[in-house]
């Protein structure tokens, strides 16, 4: 009896600890997410209001590089530092990581750099969680790695408005093909709370309408054919994601090798971005790609309708994003990956006529993200939260086929190898497997 009572007390205290920690993270990360989204929207509208703002990108980039040099180079490792710190805690995340990445991301978008916001969300959430972990340790006794995971989930859920996907992403992104189930509940509490607070204080999120009814069919043979088409779409998305990941790492290596000084590297790299945007691919592919003051511009939303993207829109966004991030400009990769995937799905649907445009864009949206981050489960849940729960079998087919075809390529260089792509366990353990599952 005592053993059972002790078990109940232990787990009740554990749940209470999670609730208290989630409440702290929900308020801080949720509020910070709303502020970040507002600043990002302001920077985007300012940049699009005049063609001359693009030419300021080298200046803002140089300031960003100087800020990171002045504060310490390790914070510049971004998401890779967060993942590495959760896997093998060392010195802890720098206390200034959260405000620094927010400021640097705003500067990137003020100049028109093609970047996203996921990297900022993850680092902001983890950075704030790291601060709370130090302050609350005497009272809560919180496991450091666990609270960092909760911070990552809160940041993702708050910024994207997809709390369940945020919780799964935080756990899944650590290790390829493995999911620490003990981390899901605390991550879900933090992610849902941050999303609620962000929305309550004025944060807004975009959602894209998809008519899954276009794929409804009573014939199993027809549905089987659709699944086959979607697997092929996922395979193409996986190849594109692999090209993006490897191109990003290769370009970053070249920049670091030939321009070792960070300020010079980011200044020259920004000039390359300006030149390519102005004279090669066009300005449609600057910034997030979610909205544009020009009603005829290619955006993520326009990719969900026929004629809303050009044949090579996906490649233009891919190229400009690699050039932006490889030179050291800050932001995230995920929103550009959404753009690339949606544009790819659009052109495949238009050219083949085998799938509805909005459905193909939605599947490409999540499939490229799945393959580039090695997070097929989080990507599938993301699709359900953004596009609705209808036809989830098609979503899973696209995300997992893309993930398998990508073959282990990832935008995160510190991601743990985990299991092989065909679910054959290798010698490594998951970073959180040493904890007792709850």
Q: For residue 26, what pLDDT band results from cuts at 50, 70 and 90?
A: very high
Give the residue range(s) of CATH 1.10.3080.10 domains in the chain.
Answer: 2-200, 212-406
Tokens of 414: 């510190």
Does the predicted model carry a pTM greater than 0.75? Answer: yes
- The least confident of 62-71, 196-205, 281-290, 419-428 is 419-428
Q: Of 391 and 433, which is predicted with more confidence?
A: 391
Q: For residue 137, what pLDDT band results from cuts at 50, 70 and 90?
A: low
Beta-carbon neighbour count of residue 243 at 10 Å? 17
Can you give the pLDDT at residue 421?
45
Can you give the pLDDT at residue 86?
84
Average pLDDT rounded to a whole number, residues 125-131: 91
Q: Among residues 434, 426, 367, 437, which one has the least CA distance to residue 176? A: 426
Strand partners, 425: 419
Can you give the pLDDT at residue 18?
81
Does the structure show a pLDDT above 60 at 67? yes
Q: Of 343 and 97, which is predicted with more confidence?
A: 343
Does the structure show a pLDDT above 90 at 418? no
CA 183 to each of CA 7, 143, 166, 249, 313: distance values in angstroms, whole numbers, following the listed order: 19, 11, 12, 29, 38
Can you give the pLDDT at residue 438?
31
Tokens of 181: 């189930």
Beta-carbon neighbour count of residue 340 at 10 Å? 32
Q: For residue 432, what pLDDT band results from cuts at 50, 70 and 90?
A: low
Q: Positive or negative CA dihedral for 195, 198, 199, 203?
A: negative
Strand partners, 274: none
Whether domain 2-200 has CATH 1.10.3080.10: yes
CA 31 to each of CA 122, 336, 433: distance values in angstroms, whole numbers, following the listed order: 14, 24, 32
Interhelix angle for 144-160 vs 184-200, to 10°?
40
CA distance 250 to 256: 10
Report domain 212-406's class: mainly alpha
Q: What are phi and psi of 205, to 5 degrees?
A: -135, 150
CA distance 239 to 242: 5
Q: Say if residues 151 and 128 touch (Cβ distance below 8 Å).
A: yes
Q: Among residues 430, 423, 389, which one has the least CA distance to residue 404? A: 423
Average pLDDT rounded to a whole number, residues 150-176: 92
């Amino acid at each position: 009896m005592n053993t059972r009572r002790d078990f109940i007390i232990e787990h009740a205290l554990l749940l209470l600890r999670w609730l208290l920690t989630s409440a702290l993270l929900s308020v801080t990360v949720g509020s910070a997410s709303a502020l970040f989204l507002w600043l990002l929207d302001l920077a985007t509208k300012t940049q699009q209001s005049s063609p001359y703002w693009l030419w300021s990108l080298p200046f803002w980039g140089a300031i960003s590089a100087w800020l990171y040099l002045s504060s310490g180079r390790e914070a510049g490792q971004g998401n890779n530092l967060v993942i590495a710190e959760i896997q093998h805690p060392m010195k802890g995340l720098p206390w200034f990581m959260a405000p620094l990445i927010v400021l640097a991301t705003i500067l990137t978008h003020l100049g028109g750099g093609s970047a996203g916001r996921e990297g900022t969300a993850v680092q902001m959430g983890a950075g704030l969680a790291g601060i709370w972990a130090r302050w609350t340790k005497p009272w809560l006794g919180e496991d450091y790695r666990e609270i960092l995971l909760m911070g990552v989930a809160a940041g993702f859920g708050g910024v994207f408005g997809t709390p369940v996907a945020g919780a799964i992403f935080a756990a899944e992104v650590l290790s390829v093909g493995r999911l620490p189930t003990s981390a899901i509940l605390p991550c879900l509490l933090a992610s849902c709370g941050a999303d609620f607070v962000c929305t309550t204080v004025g944060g807004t999120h975009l959602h894209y309408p998809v008519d899954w009814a276009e794929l409804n069919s009573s014939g199993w043979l027809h549905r089987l054919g659709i699944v086959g088409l979607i697997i092929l779409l996922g395979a193409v998305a996986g190849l594109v994601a692999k090209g993006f990941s490897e191109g990003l790492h290769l370009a970053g290596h070249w920049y670091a090798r030939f321009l070792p000084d960070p300020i010079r590297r980011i200044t020259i790299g920004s000039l390359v971005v300006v030149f390519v945007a102005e004279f090669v691919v066009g300005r449609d592919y600057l910034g997030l790609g979610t909205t544009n003051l020009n009603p005829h511009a290619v955006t993520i939303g326009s990719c969900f309708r026929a004629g809303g993207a050009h044949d090579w829109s996906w490649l233009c966004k891919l190229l400009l994003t690699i050039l932006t991030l490889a030179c050291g400009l800050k932001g995230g990769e995920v929103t550009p990956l959404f753009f690339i995937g949606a544009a790819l799905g659009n052109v495949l649907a238009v050219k083949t006529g085998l799938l509805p445009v909005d459905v193909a864009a939605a599947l490409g949206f999540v499939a490229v993200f799945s393959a580039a981050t090695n997070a097929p489960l989080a990507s599938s849940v993301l699709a359900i939260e953004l596009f609705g729960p209808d036809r989830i079998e098609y979503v899973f087919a696209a995300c997992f086929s893309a993930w398998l075809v990508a073959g282990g390529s990832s935008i995160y260089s510190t991601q743990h190898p985990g299991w092989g792509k065909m679910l054959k366990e290798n010698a490594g353990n998951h970073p959180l497997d040493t904890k007792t599952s709850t």
